[in-house]
Amino acid sequence: MEVTNIENQQLTIQKKIDKVLCNSADVESCCPIKDILARFGDKWSIYTILTLGKQEKLRFNELKSQINGVSQRMLTVTLRSLEEDGLVSREVYAEIPPRVEYSLTPLGQGLLLQLLQLADWAKLNVDQILEARERYGKKSTQGV
Amino acid sequence: MEVTNIENQQLTIQKKIDKVLCNSADVESCCPIKDILARFGDKWSIYTILTLGKQEKLRFNELKSQINGVSQRMLTVTLRSLEEDGLVSREVYAEIPPRVEYSLTPLGQGLLLQLLQLADWAKLNVDQILEARERYGKKSTQGV
DNA sequence: CTGTATCCCTCTGGATACTG
DNA sequence: CAGTATCCAGAGGGATACAG
């Protein structure tokens, strides 16, 4: 009975993998994980999403000062791509000097939750990964 | 009462974000999400993990033929880095010709589950993202 | 069969200067 | 304030050739 349950679980996982891989000839075009990864896999998107997750609405320079190390150019690029995918909304007020406020859309908040889950897993397993690295390092140092 | 619940949830999220961001001066060194992202954020790791998730054990050339488009070099590089982090195990049989079998470690299987969750979210929201893109495209086409 | 080594090209992202 | 434009360096990754 337990064995059957485990087998069923395994089957479910394999089916999911099949769907994700799509068995397509074209690697780039079909994997949904790759798609979302393109949304936050670059250098600054995660920090931008997390920072916006904390404060609701932020102006351009507020974001820039809170995301340590980001250049003006890259913050602009990052925000534009997040805006394009509907993860971040951009509101421009026709004032002088101009005021622009960025915030997470509901979709962006959903992605934020996914990222936090990923972070939970990371925290739970980071030790194992570090241990594995140490073992690997020793292995390559050994003469034999 | 409900309001309080929502507020509590929001607080929990903000605390989590704080932990993930660490308020550190050094951007690169502290964010746990960045750490795991480095484990599967490159071009071939995801396909490798998914493919190994389906079949238990695979030899080098079996992997290469199932991961469409990967070069010999990149498959090697990818497998080495996954092995280094303890996500994939590599067993070498001292035969001629050599036989090497790769498989997911329990840790790697854990990451696989996280990836599948991410894929679930992606599938649920891909339509919204596509719509947002279309809107964005129209906006930039409009003169005013 | 399972790699390593080398070359080279593209793409990301940083620095800097300029603009409405 | 909130960008845009340009230039450039470095990393990632493909093609090819060679090796145990």
The CATH number of the domain holding residue B107 is 1.10.10.10
Tens-digit pLDDT profile for residues B23-37: 666 666 678 888 889
CA distances from B54 to B63, B91, B106, B109 (A): 11, 18, 14, 11
Residues A49 and A22 in one domain: no
Nearest chain B residue to A49 by CA: give it. B17
Rounded Cα–Cα distance for residues A26 and A129 (Å): 32
Residues B18 and B72 in one domain: no
Task: Report CA Rg, chain A.
Answer: 21
Rounded Cα–Cα distance for residues A102 and A88 (Å): 7
- Strands (DSSP E) found in B1-144: 57-59, 88-93, 99-104
Test A32 with B128 for CB contact under 8 angstroms. no
Query: Taking 60 as the threshold, does the pLDDT of residue B87 lie above it?
Result: yes
Rounded Cα–Cα distance for residues A30 and A18 (Å): 11
Q: Note the pLDDT of residue B114.
A: 96
Mean pLDDT of A117-138: 92
Residues B35 and B104 in one domain: no
Token couple for B116: 């599948």
Residues B70 and B17 in one domain: no
Mean pLDDT of B107-122: 96
Residues B50 and B97 in one domain: yes
How close A1 gets to chain B, by Cα (Å)? Answer: 22
Residues A113 and A85 in one domain: yes
Q: Identify the band that residue A3 occupies on the pLDDT scale cut at 50, 70 and 90.
A: confident
Residues B68 and B103 in one domain: yes
Q: Which nucleotide is nearest to B98 (CA to C1')?
A: C1
Token couple for A10: 């395994």
Residues B67 and B95 in one domain: yes
How close A52 gets to chain B, by Cα (Å)? Answer: 10
Sequence-separated (6 or more) residues with CB below 8 Å from residue A65: none
Round and report the angstrom distance from CA (B52) to C1' (D10): 32
Number of domains in chain B: 2
Sequence-separated (6 or more) residues with CB below 8 Å from residue A7: none
Token couple for B2: 């409900």
Token couple for B86: 């303890």
Among A78-82, A102-106, A112-116, A133-137, the range scoring the smallest mean pLDDT is A133-137
Q: Report whether A12 contacts B53 (CB < 8 A).
A: no
Chain A, 31-50: which have a CB under 8 Å from a chain B CB? 31-37, 39, 41, 46-47, 50
Residues B103 and B36 in one domain: no
How close B133 gets to chain A, by Cα (Å)? Answer: 5
Residues B83 and B125 in one domain: yes
Test B41 with A37 for CB contact under 8 angstroms. yes
Q: Report whether A75 contacts A44 (CB < 8 A).
A: yes
Round and report the angstrom distance from CA (B71) to C1' (C4): 14
Residues A9 and A53 in one domain: no
Tens-digit pLDDT profile for residues B29-80: 678 888 889 889 999 999 999 999 999 999 999 999 999 999 999 999 999 9
Query: Taking 70 as the threshold, does the pLDDT of residue A136 lie above it?
Result: yes
Q: Identify the band that residue B144 occupies on the pLDDT scale cut at 50, 70 and 90.
A: very low
Phi, psi of B67 (to 5 degrees): -95, 100
Tens-digit pLDDT profile for residues A42-66: 999 999 999 999 999 999 999 999 9
Rounded Cα–Cα distance for residues A136 and B84 (Å): 6
Phi, psi of B44 (to 5 degrees): -115, -10
Please give the protein residue whose CA is closest to the C1' of the nucleotide C3. B76
Residue among B91, B81, B89, B86 nearest B107 (CA): B86
Protein residues with beta carbon less than 7 Å from any atom of strand D: A 59-62, 72-73, 76, 79-80, 90, 97-100; B 42-44, 69-74, 97-98
Tell whether A11 is within 8 A of chain B (Cβ).
no
Residues B65 and B118 in one domain: yes
Q: Note the pLDDT of residue A144.
A: 44
Which domain, by its residues, includes A120?
41-141
Query: How many CB pairs lie under 8 A apart between chains A and B?
Result: 163
